[in-house]
Amino acid sequence: MNDKENIARPFLKWVGGKTQLLNELEKRLPDKTRKTGVIECYIEPFVGGGALFFYLQKKYKIRKAYLIDNNQDLILTYKVIKKEPEKLIAALEKLQEDYLRKNRIDRQKQYYHIRDEYNSQMGTINYRQFSSAWIKRASYLIMLNKTCFNGLFRINSKGEFNVPAGKYKNPMICDSGNLRNVSKALAKTHIVCADYSKCRDFVGMGSLVYFDPPYRPINNTSCFTAYTKDGFYDEEQVSLAKLSKELADKGAFVLLSNSDPTNENAEDNFFDRIYRGFNIKRVLASRMINCNGAKRGQIKELIINNYQ
């Protein structure tokens, strides 16, 4: 097995994924972490696709980690990969085989059939108890993510996954090598479905907490991309800033990223106000800036922390 085969990468394409910002985030890790290469306790309360977690776990020794998100299907999928990677791989291989041998029209039919089934499972799935239904659901979520338009995960106000089919020639629905590596990378993690504020229970002196909350919309024309039924508005951003201060006072290292409203309005100093006393850096990233996915631009993002 070569090195590449041992490296776990995010297994989903996730809206707001932080692959773009990894180098900038790494530069702003606590000095001690960079010097020792050890993270005693890593906590990511808006884990999504987990770009920073997967990046750090291959370069640093993470002794304990808590990965949290309030999207119950995302968390279900993490738990399935951790516990039953081989059963999940078998389910995905079957889906991939069926998909790849079909023509374009039949692929679309398969996609919408799975999307309907995925949405109808919602009322019956028991999120509290691991079962074979979890494996099926996780395989559907990954399949839909790999074959939907733009690789988005978006749900409507009823909680239904509503992204149309994409047109890929040869999508990698089952990346078995990566799923096995992800399963190993998750072995020592605690995976928690909860509101971000639950992290209070786990954060102590010296914990590294990375917050990557849903973005504040950039402008009126930027699309609404919901990961969960409940939105994340200014009120929630303010509560998060309060929690960040509370954790900083506990002796935690708090690192946070967000979109920069000054991209749109130079006077909008919302985050400068709510994170007064923290270090706030503006860095450039290339990001999708409208709904059709075609328009990308260099915009400023914020990286905020409570230490030098």
Ligand X SMILES: C[S@@+](CC[C@H](N)C(=O)[O-])C[C@H]1O[C@@H](n2cnc3c(N)ncnc32)[C@H](O)[C@@H]1O
In angstroms, what is the minimal distance from the CB of 214 to ligand X? 5
Contact between 253 and ligand X by CB under 6 A: the answer reads no
**Residues 6 or more apart from 108 whose CB is under 8 A from it?**
165
- Only one residue has tokens 């290339």, namely 286
In angstroms, what is the minimal distance from the CB of 1 to ligand X? 26
Would you tell me how many other CB atoms lie within 10 Å of the CB of residue 37?
9
Contact between 151 and ligand X by CB under 6 A: the answer reads no
Nearest-angstrom CA–CA distance, 113 and 88 = 19
Contact between 42 and ligand X by CB under 6 A: the answer reads no
State the number of binding residues for ligand X (CB under 6 A): 21
Nearest-angstrom CA–CA distance, 92 and 109 = 17
Q: Are strands 296-305 and 279-288 parallel, antiparallel or unpaired?
A: antiparallel
3-state secondary structure of 77: helix
Which residue number, 136 or 287, has a Cβ lying nearer to ligand X? 287
Would you tell me how many other CB atoms lie within 10 Å of the CB of residue 274?
18
Which residue number, 85 or 214, has a Cβ lying nearer to ligand X? 214
Write the DSSP symbol of residue 213: P
Q: H or E element: which one contains 65?
A: strand 65-69
Contact between 166 and ligand X by CB under 6 A: the answer reads no
Contact between 28 and ligand X by CB under 6 A: the answer reads no
Contact between 227 and ligand X by CB under 6 A: the answer reads yes
Instruction: Put the strands of the sheet holding 279-288 in their side by side order.
Output: 189-193, 65-69, 42-44, 208-211, 253-259, 296-305, 279-288
Q: Which stretch binds ligand X (CB under 6 A): 40-48, 75-83, 115-123, 290-298?
A: 40-48
Which residue number, 18 or 146, has a Cβ lying nearer to ligand X? 18
In angstroms, what is the minimal distance from the CB of 80 to ligand X? 17
Q: Are strands 42-44 and 208-211 parallel, antiparallel or unpaired?
A: parallel
In angstroms, what is the minimal distance from the CB of 228 to ligand X? 5
In angstroms, what is the minimal distance from the CB of 258 to ligand X? 9
**Residue of the chain from 9, 25, 39, 46 that contacts ligand X (CB under 6 A):** 46
Region 197-226 residues binding ligand X, contact defined as CB under 6 A: 212-214
Q: Which residues bind ligand X (CB under 6 A)?
A: 14, 16-18, 45-46, 48-51, 69-71, 195-196, 212-214, 227-228, 232
